Amino acid sequence: MAGMLRILLLEDSTIDAELIEAQLESLDETFAVTRVATRAAYHDALARETFDVILSDFSLPDFDGMAALNVAVALAPDAPFIFVSGVLGEEAAIEAFRKGATDYVLKPRLARLPAAVARALNEARERSERRRIEQQKDLLVRELSHRVKNNLAVVLSLIRRTGHSSSSVAEFEEKLIARVSALADAHELLFEGNWDETELLSVFQRAVRPHNKDLLRFDIGRHDLVRLDPKTALSIGMVFNELVTNASKYGALANEQGWVSISWTVDKTDLGQAVHLTWSEHGGPAVRPPDDKGFGTRLIKANIEYELGGQANLLYPPDGFRAEIDLFISGSKAATMTPI
């Protein structure tokens, strides 16, 4: 029955039912007719099955067309209801339309039945498509509202925390612009991908682009293909921004000789994929552990450990800062890529 037009015919006359089915043969769609002749059978059919269109006589031995229409409106409101009757006066027709009937065809003029059915089906499908679009729009609006609220909360946190860790208005402005810009860049990348999964490599390239457009000071080693959901991509984008900003001010990118190597690998499991990412800085000024943890360090920890449930180890050997990050990506797909 899949893809077949399902028609419920309420008709007590076998001859009339055969004539109706003969006229329906000219429809462009294949169809199956379920014929009923009593109130009980009609109720049972509507309760048991879903129909694309209902055809009903107006006068029946134990039933009348208006009562059948009321039942259809209650049990099958999306199915067009067409009266097929020997006689239907003007007042009855007006009342039928007022109560929800789609059309009526007089039995002496059955030749117009296929056109009436086709028109009713097209109108019903258009209404269904409009409802689907409206439902999709409502879903998107709710999702957008949710994301905007979350992003505003992130921005407010960035403002508050950046203010606490800044010693001057100029420093506050510089740090805040960089962090909000990083968030905007991650959003732009997700928007380009229709807010679907995005690759870890793309997130990295977008995050470091403002600091080094040609990526000449970044050595990208092995990088397995890792697809990130929007939440993970936003968090990783913020982490990359903090790492590259710190490297530009205090680490390997603070002079002309330093460089950064980065790589990530994937180990597949039954439940998902474990991602291990390494960020290593070389050739920069001598490194010593910070006296206290600034907001940048806390932001990295918060995004990796609290937002994503991973682990971030920040190491400070004298020859260069190093970050070891472990994440578990459930449901992601990965495939080994050759180094670039």
CATH number at residue 322: 3.30.565.10
* Of the candidates 289, 311, 315, 290, the residue with the CA atom closest to the CA atom of residue 302: 311
Tokens of 140: 């998107």
**Model confidence at 20: pLDDT above 60:** yes
Q: What is the structure's pLDDT at 255? A: 87
**Model confidence at 179: pLDDT above 90:** no
Q: Are residues 99 and 199 in the same domain?
A: no
Q: Looking at 126, 148, 163, which one is the last position of a domain?
A: 126
DSSP at 282: E
Q: Are residues 116 and 189 in the same domain?
A: no
Q: Are residues 200 and 317 in the same domain?
A: yes
**Model confidence at 240: pLDDT above 80:** yes
Percent of the chain residues past pLDDT 70, beyond the cut: 82
Q: Is the pTM of this model over 0.75?
A: no
Return the minimum-mean-pLDDT range out of 39-48, 135-144, 273-282, 305-314: 135-144
Return the minimum-mean-pLDDT range out of 105-119, 154-168, 292-306: 154-168
Q: Are residues 191 and 102 in the same domain?
A: no
CA separation for the pair 237, 245 (Å, rounded): 12
Q: Are residues 210 and 309 in the same domain?
A: yes
C-alpha triplet 155, 157, 158: angle, nearest 5° = 65
pLDDT band at 75 (very low <50, low <70, confident <90, very high): very high
Q: What is the structure's pLDDT at 301? A: 85
Q: Are residues 196 and 308 in the same domain?
A: yes
Tell me whether residue 69 is in a domain: yes
**Model confidence at 58: pLDDT above 80:** yes
CA separation for the pair 249, 270 (Å, rounded): 42
pLDDT band at 149 (very low <50, low <70, confident <90, very high): low
**Model confidence at 286: pLDDT above 90:** no
Q: What is the structure's pLDDT at 50? A: 92
Q: Are residues 95 and 219 in the same domain?
A: no
Q: What is the structure's pLDDT at 340? A: 32
Number of domains in the chain: 2
Strand-pair category, 59-60 with 63-64: antiparallel
Q: Looking at 105, 126, 147, which one is the last position of a domain?
A: 126
Q: What is the structure's pLDDT at 190? A: 59
Can you give the residue range of the structural domain that contains 257?
185-330
Tell me whether residue 174 is in a domain: no
- In this prediction, residues 131-152 reach a mean pLDDT of 71
Q: What is the structure's pLDDT at 165? A: 66
* Residue-wise DSSP of 195-250: TS-EEHHHHHHHHHTTT-TT-TTEEEEEE---EE-HHHHHHHHHHHHHHHHHHHHT
Q: What is the structure's pLDDT at 334? A: 40
Q: What is the structure's pLDDT at 321? A: 93
**Model confidence at 214: pLDDT above 50:** no
Tell me whether residue 141 is in a domain: no
Query: Given the structure tokens 């059919």, which residue do they identify?
Result: 45
* Of the candidates 335, 321, 311, the residue with the CA atom closest to the CA atom of residue 262: 321
**Model confidence at 265: pLDDT above 90:** yes
Q: What is the structure's pLDDT at 335? A: 39
